[in-house]
Amino acid sequence: MSFQAPKGTFDWMPPRSERVLAVRDALAAPARRAGYGYIETPAFEDTGLFSRGVGESTDIVTKEMYTFEDKGGRSITLRPEGTASVMRAVLEHGLPGGPLPVKLWYSGSYYRYERAQKGRYRHFSQVGAEAIGIEDPAVDAELITLAVDGYAALGLSGVRLLLNSLGCAECRPAYRAALQDFLRGLDLDEQTRQRIEINPLRVLDDKRPQVQAQLTGAPLVTDHLCGACKAYHEEVRTLLTAAGVKYTDDPRLVRGLDYYTRTTFEFLHDGLGAQSAVGGGGRYDGLSEMIGGPPLPSVGWALGVDRTVLAMEAEGLFDAEPATVDVFAVPLGEEAKRVAFGLVVELRRAGLSVDMAFGGRGVKGAMKAADRSGARFALILGDRDLAAGAVQMKDLTTAEQTAVPFAEVADTLKGKLS
């Protein structure tokens, strides 16, 4: 019997997996610099958290969740997104009783039973950030700017930002009624018609061409915003412009989760084909109350790690395979291997990235291994070097080779690599 990764999943393998780590670090770095603390939540939660928080009318809840009954008879779901879990943790641990906003970032795996294709997987990775407990357009603009800076740090130039406002509890009802009147006159299947009555915004998010073709004349939420929502959205736009963030107003932009209010945004990359969204988010002022908490206006985003890697590959930002180490030791003989092993341990503890040739390879095979590792320096150690108390340090980019006393190897390498 042979096993393979389940359909819709895949393995990140070296050296490509190094790109994933680099992307995660780069996307999270701006949030960390802005004072966002790290949070980690369980990979599975009570099913009710997602059905209430994400929305019973969403595709995620109705079609895509991995839900099962555990041995205790409880209905459990693998998390399909991160925001509901973060809000649950914030409420459970009483964080709203302290200084607000509660600013958190996270990174992890998420699970949705979707039609598998490039850029859409059943197991995927995201980096997310949330600012909980504050209603301030400056926080919305801050989070958007942090995401923009994360993409910029990776060298991505093809990411586009779409921006919209979905209104609030005051102005949404009038828009909802207008939208329902429009949608009821369209030629839609029964399931979609049921969605009109539950949450008509979900129909606008329907990606099927036969549905989208009928939505051309649909009323726009921006035409129904109350004065407060208009002023709020305009301030977000003003702050983004002042920060040098380029965006496109998209009055038809609707995110696929029920909890969004006011500011909503999405990041697209045209090099990914049909699955062009690489990240997105928005304000979700009612989520806390949906899952039994107090009013906590909040805003956040999630950025797809898998799709960001694909976007970077589409732009040719990964021309060379990443080096696994900076230094590679090549021992010639058993005694040299013992000494080289001790030297490698010492260099690693000094903060250097080091590997060595194993398995009794000859010098030719060991040097090939050094080249494959991407290391800049090889440390060659034979009987003569042992007698001299030195190692041959070879620069693999210039072929220059010098003898360096054992006691000076760490400092010499740090100086050359800095």
Establish whether 82 is an annotated binding residue: yes
Confirm whether residue 266 is marked as ligand binding: no
* Annotated binding-site residue? 81: yes
Q: Does the annotation flag 110 for ligand binding?
A: no
| 126 annotated as ligand-binding | yes
Residue 255 marked ligand-binding = yes
Q: How large is the angle between the packed helices 334-349 and 409-417, nearest 10 degrees?
A: 60
Residue 111 known to bind ligand? no
**Binding-site sequence positions:** 81-83, 112, 126, 130, 255, 259-260
**Binding-site sequence positions for L-histidine:** 81-83, 112, 126, 130, 255, 259-260
